[in-house]
Structure 1
């Protein structure tokens, strides 16, 4: 084995007998480097893109969300509230009332959702992370915080003088068409005191209010909620918290974590990552089979040396190992070089913004140990298969 490895290193690093062999070997080595580099860039880019996309869910979505298993509301009894306070894994929870509403501001209409939240909502999410202008909700039931998309569409800003009001309308329950349209809706006039921004979809969907105002507008009792949003003390306590919550609410409610709340987004990002990995791997397969071609050309070039070694007592398996090791060395060294170059490019992107999405936003990237492992195993495995197939060309027929 030592002799085979020694000869393989000599063949790899010493020039061949012709320029054509040297050029082919150089192209094969470059293919390994580019394959490893490309795969590392793709994995790091998608890791950064995934973090960038999911960052907004951490701003807006709770660690756990309890929703009614049927109907629009869940009855939260005083006993339920007491039991929620006894769960050690829960740092804080907020009661939420949510419903579709009709907005009107200076004769401009828009449909949206009102999200009434209790005072503890500020401990479940960080309002400062989404608030871009004005103030967050206080105890005043006649104030709201609107999304940036709603604000732009209605031409509505933060009111300091309390001269312009936002009208919120909710249809009254009942059958048939009322004779007086003005009595068909419950109405509340409120003042926008803040503007938030999470992403384009959420910015155009919600207006936040106190839960008291939302309940009054929707004619709900103090025990009725649309959801309960929970902040955990740490992620490791999630399963224990879910088990205890399931005991409290039994079949009355559905409990989801952040991943389940954004299941479609997670699935889309994972699918895109997998497809991109497979595409780049396919390209790497094509490039790495140049290694097989280079080894076959090297076998032809060293045919005389191979016969000499065979006549001196080197076995056929040992001769095959020489060129197998040569291909593996080329693959491993090329992969390491490709990873090193990829690391430099990713660090340069993170520090200098070589590729920009917008003039002020660099393409997000993230370096993970998993990316190094996946790239190394993928490229070396493909290179090892190619090297094995090429070295198997050494047979008794060649040695005649």
Structure 2
């Protein structure tokens, strides 16, 4: 066994005659334990918030989405349609027409986005699972499905045929207009369902058949604004993206779920990084106790160190004793902190100890990468702190005068 490591283990297990040093050592280890546990709990909490935030928006997010980079729409030819369906890894895809509109009913107006979808859309996404009232729309009908916020704003429910919702969009062109019919394209629709995803999306989309959206916007039969794809379980995303782009051309961009929620990911990652840095600073402060504990131990063991030096131990060997001692203290404290943090997170996940609302527990998620982050952070900071403390040992300190 390594001589320095062997002595370091002995020092870890043995008590000093000086109670103050024992107390400082205990404080140092407790600080590391609490720091590691706190960092793991916070990272698990943010992981839970991230999963919770994306859980609902991902319901209507496809695996891949193809959009044009030139203008608002593009033409999908029959040949391209057949080529896309032949791609290995594409389970199915849906044609989409999306545009900003004004929805009106009984004098109430609401700006929203119409999302015209074909009959395959509810196979691409799980939209059916978030419709608590009513049902999904039928193709080739003037039916729509709106979010809770839009339903409240327009004062409409489901299958109320006495209340039509008029969807309007400005007509393209120039010159003066003398009537509303000259300025706007309009369609009258009936709401048959209400979806409930999250506050933002409930206030944004009006789902309609692609025929209704095409009529509203005067689009050609093969003119669309995007394609949404569902991939097979064994599909290689990058390979499929490359094949789709080769068929649709360089004027299209293909986005996956992460890229579709780019703003949310950036916000969550920025907040996560900020909290990580704050708790890392707390760990750095806690590791100052490790440095103080080792320095106190060096002074307490000065006579023993002189003996070791006289019997042949080098200054480097003696430095390594306290370097290993600091590293062991850090690893032991970090491991105990992770165990405590894991238990707390698991209790929250299993028994909902902390509630945001009476019906909503604070979300947490156990990810292995958070274990790696905590141990890596503790290890790096612990090695640096131990190196700083061990460097206080010099030849003058250990040699017999």
| Common fold by TM > 0.5 | yes
The whole-number CA distance in structure 1 between the counterparts of 2:299 and 2:85 is: 78
**Unmatched segments (≥5 aa) in structure 2:** none
Equivalent in the alignment of 2:93:
93
Task: Quote how far apart the aligned CAs of 1:372 are.
Answer: 1.3
| Farther-moved stretch of structure 1 (122-131 vs 181-190) | 181-190
Q: Deviations over 1:109-155 (max 9, x none)?
A: 11211111000111110122322221011135121000111112222
Task: Quote how far apart the aligned CAs of 1:183 are.
Answer: 4.1
The whole-number CA distance in structure 2 between the counterparts of 1:229 and 1:94 is: 5
Change (3 A) 1:235 1:284: farther
Answer yes or no: is the 8 Å Cα contact 1:74–1:253 preserved in 2.
no
**Unmatched segments (≥5 aa) in structure 1:** none
Equivalent in the alignment of 1:301:
300
Equivalent in the alignment of 2:71:
71
Q: Deviations over 1:258-307 (max 9, x none)?
A: 22222222222222222222221121111112101001001111112222
Equivalent in the alignment of 1:81:
81
Equivalent in the alignment of 2:314:
315
Q: SS where residue 251 of structure 1 aligns?
A: coil
Equivalent in the alignment of 2:129:
129
Task: Quote how far apart the aligned CAs of 1:54 are.
Answer: 2.0
The whole-number CA distance in structure 1 between the counterparts of 2:234 and 2:334 is: 36
The whole-number CA distance in structure 2 between the counterparts of 1:326 and 1:40 is: 24
How many pairs are equivalent? Answer: 399
Equivalent in the alignment of 2:30:
30
| Farther-moved stretch of structure 1 (382-391 vs 230-239) | 230-239
Answer yes or no: is the 8 Å Cα contact 2:4–2:318 preserved in 1.
yes
Query: Are 2:178 and 1:174 equivalent residues in the alignment?
Result: no
Answer yes or no: is the 8 Å Cα contact 2:140–2:211 preserved in 1.
no
Query: Are 2:250 and 1:238 equivalent residues in the alignment?
Result: no
Q: Deviations over 1:14-36 (max 9, x none)?
A: 22112211111111111111121
Q: Normalised by the size of structure 1, how large is the TM-score?
A: 0.95
Equivalent in the alignment of 2:255:
256
The whole-number CA distance in structure 2 between the counterparts of 1:114 and 1:77 is: 23
What value does the CA root-mean-square deviation take over the aligned residues? 1.7
Alignment of structure 1 residues 15-164 onto 2, 5 Å: 15-159=15-159, 161-164=160-163
The whole-number CA distance in structure 2 between the counterparts of 1:57 and 1:67 is: 19
Task: Quote how far apart the aligned CAs of 1:236 are.
Answer: 4.2
The whole-number CA distance in structure 1 between the counterparts of 2:202 and 2:260 is: 18
Answer yes or no: is the 8 Å Cα contact 2:89–2:236 preserved in 1.
yes
Change (3 A) 1:288 1:236: farther
Answer yes or no: is the 8 Å Cα contact 1:68–1:74 preserved in 2.
yes
Equivalent in the alignment of 1:365:
364
Q: SS where residue 96 of structure 1 aligns?
A: strand
The whole-number CA distance in structure 1 between the counterparts of 2:87 and 2:337 is: 50
Q: SS where residue 393 of structure 2 aligns?
A: coil
Answer yes or no: is the 8 Å Cα contact 2:89–2:234 preserved in 1.
no
Equivalent in the alignment of 1:212:
211
Query: Are 2:247 and 1:268 equivalent residues in the alignment?
Result: no
